[in-house]
Amino acid sequence: MNAPRPLGFVATVVESARQTALRLRHHRIWTLVVIGAAALYGIAWLVGYQVGQRTEDDGVIAYCNLAWWLQATVVTPWLTLYLGVQALHGGLEDRTFQYLFLRPVSRTALLLGNWLAVSLVGASVGALGAVILFAGMADNRELWPDGADWRYAGAFAGACAIAATAYAAAAMAFSAWFRRPLVWAAFFVVGLQQVVANLPISAGLRSATITDPLRRFVLDAIEPTQRLARNLWPAEATFDPEQVGAPLLDLTWFVLVALAIASWVYARTEYDARARD
């Protein structure tokens, strides 16, 4: 036997991430990204044009509403959840996981590699989308009397990138645990997060979601007017910067707990036996 020592933990994470990213590339993601980018630009331009024609709102209000309600709460979450479920649960469904589980490497490292790749792809696409939306909105020059302020694009690009890492971790947990992870993802995004968003600001459960700390992160970054704050956080009548708290810490905890659950389940579950139970 002249086989070398099996790959170490970090090297396995990197190799798993590389292979996951390669496989995601094969899902024609770049074709979809180009089509999606054109669509986002078109939507942003059209919305900006309509806002300019029909309201007194400026480009900041128009962009922040669009970027939050479309890019940060719909496109980035669903794209990342879909890619995450494809990456991990796809292999469990078609049983190709057997080829991986036979190797002398840690299943946790394999899972973290999947998460890393999905996070990077989701973050890149999410951030790019936020910037493209801004570009589309900025082309309506009458909305920006003092010139387009690209700081807002940066704030939402950062928010989407952070959201992608958290949604990727949620996708790993749902994929490792459940047989129908996208159904549970829908329950989490549409059900739990919406319900929790209406709880009082003091409710600790809000930190167990992605939307709530992400919203606080955005509000902290864009320093909104009261009106814009109400648009982005309808459950709160008046926005107080003291309410921001530590959104990045909350999201970090969310990611750590989701990944801990995911790797615990992934490392211990007999996926072959599950089909027969």
Partner 1 sequence: MNAHSAMVSATALRFERVTKWYGSIVALLDVSFEVGCEVVGLVGKNGVGKSTLMKLAAGLLQPSQGTVHVGPHPAGTAAARADLGFCPDVERLYEQLSGVAFVAWMLRYHGFSRRDARARAAATLEQLGLGEHMNRSIREYSKGMRQRVRLAQALAHEPRFVLLDEPMTGLDPVARAELSQTIRSLPAQGVGVLVSSHVLHELEAVVDRVVLVHQGRLLAQGRVGELRAQLPSQPHRLRIVGPRLRELAAVLVAWPQVAQVRVHDDSLEVSVVGESGFYEALTRLGAAWDGGVHEVVPLDDDLASLFGYLVG
Residue with smaller CB distance to partner 1, 237 or 273: 273
Residue with smaller CB distance to partner 1, 65 or 269: 269
CA dihedral 28, 85, 83, 68 (to 10 degrees): 140
* Angstrom distances, CA of residue 49 to CA of 45, 54, 144: 6, 9, 12
Q: How far is the CB of 3 from partner 1 (least distance, A)?
A: 5
In terms of Cα–Cα distance, which of 72, 83, 102, 60 is closest to 224?
60
Q: How far is the CB of 106 from partner 1 (least distance, A)?
A: 8
Q: How far is CA 13 from the centre of its chain?
A: 20
Residue with smaller CB distance to partner 1, 56 or 94: 94
Q: How far is the CB of 185 from partner 1 (least distance, A)?
A: 23
Q: How far is the CB of 101 from partner 1 (least distance, A)?
A: 6
Residue with smaller CB distance to partner 1, 142 or 272: 272
- Which of helix, strand or coil describes residue 248? helix
Residue with smaller CB distance to partner 1, 110 or 262: 110
Residue with smaller CB distance to partner 1, 3 or 237: 3
- The answer to whether 61 touches 231, Cβ cutoff 8 Å, is yes
How many H-runs (helices) and E-runs (strands) does the chain carry? 13, 0
Provide the binding-site residues for partner 1, judged by CB under 8 A. 1-7, 12, 15, 19, 22-23, 26, 94-96, 98-106, 270-273, 276-277
Residue with smaller CB distance to partner 1, 20 or 73: 20
Q: How far is the CB of 41 from partner 1 (least distance, A)?
A: 29
- Which of helix, strand or coil describes residue 125? helix
Burial letters for 230-260: b for 16+ Cβ neighbours within 10 Å, e otherwise?
ebbbeebeebeeeebbebeebbeebbeebbe
In the chain the first and final C-alpha atoms are separated, in Å, by: 38
What's the farthest any 2 CA atoms get from each other in the chain?
76
Q: How far is the CB of 9 from partner 1 (least distance, A)?
A: 11
Q: How far is the CB of 122 from partner 1 (least distance, A)?
A: 20
- Rounded-to-integer distance, Cα 75 and Cα 68, Å: 10
